[in-house]
Chain A
Amino acid sequence: MAIISSKDTAFIPQKMKVMLLPLGLLSAMVILVIVIFKVGIGRISTQRVEFQKATKNETILSQKQQVLQTIESNILSYADTAIIAMPDKNPSLVALSQLKNLAEKSALNIGSIEIGGETKGKSGPSKTTISFEVEGTLSQVLNYLISTESFAPLSVIDRVEIAQAGGVIRASVDLAVFWAPLPTKLPAISEPVQELSAGETGLITELSGLEQPLFTQILPAAPSARIDPFAY
Chain B
Amino acid sequence: MPAINLLPTDLSPKSSIAKASQIIKNASIVGLVLVIVSAVGIIAFLVITSFQIRNSNIQQDQLKAGIKSLEQTEQRLVLTKDRLKYASEVLGKETAVGAIEDLDLLFSTLPEEVEIREAQVAAAKTEISIVAKSSSGLTKTLASLLATDYYENIKLTSFAFNINAGYIVSVSLSK
Contacts and interface: CB of A to CB of B under 8 A. Distances in A.
Nearest to B88: A203
B132 to A, nearest CB: 14
Q: Is the interface of A mostly helix, strand, loop or mixed?
A: helix
A124 B53 contact: no
A97 to B, nearest CB: 19
Interface in B38-82: 38-39, 42, 45-46, 49-50, 52-53, 56-57, 59-60, 63-64, 66-68, 70-71, 73-82
Contact of B89 (A51, A124, A189, A194): A124
A16 B11 contact: no
Contact of B56 (A32, A51, A125, A159): A51
Given A68-B74, A86-B83, A22 B14 contact: no
Contact of B103 (A18, A25, A142): A142
Contact of B86 (A125, A163, A186): A125
A69 B104 contact: no
B8 A164 contact: no
A231 B80 CA distance: 60
B7 A65 contact: no
A75 B97 contact: no
Contacts of B38: 36-37, 40
A154 interface: yes
B83 A83 contact: yes
B164 interface: no
A139 B116 CA distance: 12
Interface stretch (A98-106, A112-120, A144-152, A212-220): A144-152
B87 A159 contact: no
Contacts of A71: 73, 77
Given A162-B118, A186-B78, A143 B104 contact: yes
Given A14-B11, A36-B42, A164-B117, A182 B63 contact: no
Contacts of A76: 76
Size category of the B interface is 35 or more
Interface residues of A, number: 83
A83 B84 CA distance: 9
Interface in B13-43: 13-14, 17-18, 20-22, 24-25, 27-28, 31-32, 35, 38-39, 42
B95 interface: yes
A79 B78 CA distance: 9
B145 interface: no
- Give the most central of B39, B78, B81, B108: most A CB within 10 Å: B81
Contacts of A146: 97, 100-101, 104
A122 interface: no
B119 interface: yes
A154 B8 CA distance: 112
Given A82-B80, A163-B118, A18 B96 contact: no
B104 A142 contact: yes
Nearest to A72: B73
Interface in A127-165: 138-139, 142-143, 145-146, 148-149, 154, 156-164
Contact of B108 (A54, A124, A139): A139
A57 B60 contact: yes
A82 B85 CA distance: 10
5 contacts: A44-B45, A65-B67, A146-B97, A161-B119, A161-B121
B149 interface: no
